[in-house]
Amino acid sequence: MTIHIKEEYEHLADGACTDRFPESGNHTINHTESKNMNFRQMAVTAALGAGAATALSGCDAHDYSNVKFQPNPNPKDSYELTVKVDGAPGLFKYAGASTTLQIANPGDCLPPRDPFTGARPRDAQDISGVAVNLTQTSEVTWKGEFSVDGLLEAPYYGRAVCRWNFTVVGVSLMATGAKGETVFSADLDLSQVREEKPVALYFNKRWYPRDPDNPAKGDVFYGTERSRYPGSTDADLFTITLSARKMAP
């Protein structure tokens, strides 16, 4: 599966009631494709830059754009993340990571829906990302720390306390981070984090450093199981292996 990264926002008419998605470093996600963005895509967006958040559509007189989700100052559910590359055709000079969390109780926490349209205010976010700082420990390995409870639970919208569900921790690697390069994306969901077992995800070498079929578009390729490449030999592929290890509180 691929998605395309665009370098600029679409031009939006002043005052129009539209979905809006935040910048992530030098990349933004294509507006049309983002309307069905899943957690994995959210993780990629966040890992590429400043963190991911999606806005729900609808028109409302209130401005919720100034609502900022706060990091949990005292997390108790933290893990060390290890990223290891095996067999890649070149080095990765750019590595980014983030977690993605979603509000678990939108009915109580988020602003109420419009009684006529059924839509929530456009600036009322229900998904957020927390950046994970990665430290490179060798040419092919990185380590970082993340928390399942990384966001503070609080009444951000003046209603009930917003509770958070952890969805994924995602990693994005690029050859140099230059415009148009392939983004190699790997992630762990909560069950994989809890298992604390290495998860190897496979990629085709031909996509490094750019997809030869789309050399200027900056495609995102998601790692998958070896069985998804029945026509490829091991020499055609490389892996990104992610593992999580529980840390003492």
Residue 158: is it exposed, middle or buried by C-beta count within 10 angstroms (0-12/13-18/19+)?
exposed
pLDDT of residue 49: 55
Tell me how far apart the alpha carbons of residues 130 and 79 are, in angstroms, rounded to a whole number. 14
Alpha-carbon separation of residue 187 from 30, 37, 102, 156 (angstroms): 21, 15, 16, 28
What's this model's pTM, rounded to 2 decimal places? 0.77
pLDDT of residue 244: 98
pLDDT of residue 32: 31
Domain range summary for the chain, segments of one domain joined by + = 5-13+20-246
Residue type, 127: I
Tell me how far apart the alpha carbons of residues 192 and 174 are, in angstroms, rounded to a whole number. 24
Task: For residue 221, report the phi and psi dihedrals to the nearest 5 degrees.
Answer: -110, 130
The pLDDT tens digits along the chain (249 residues) read 544 433 332 332 333 333 332 333 333 333 333 333 466 666 666 666 533 332 333 344 578 999 999 999 999 999 999 999 999 999 999 999 999 999 999 999 999 998 899 899 988 999 999 999 999 999 999 999 999 999 999 999 999 999 999 999 999 999 999 999 999 999 999 999 999 999 999 999 999 999 999 888 899 999 999 999 999 999 999 999 999 999 998
Residue type, 76: K
Per DSSP, the three-state class of 121 is coil
pLDDT of residue 173: 98
Element (DSSP H or E) covering residue 31: helix 31-34
CA 233 to chain centre: 30
- Other C-beta atoms closer than 10 Å to the C-beta of 157 total 20
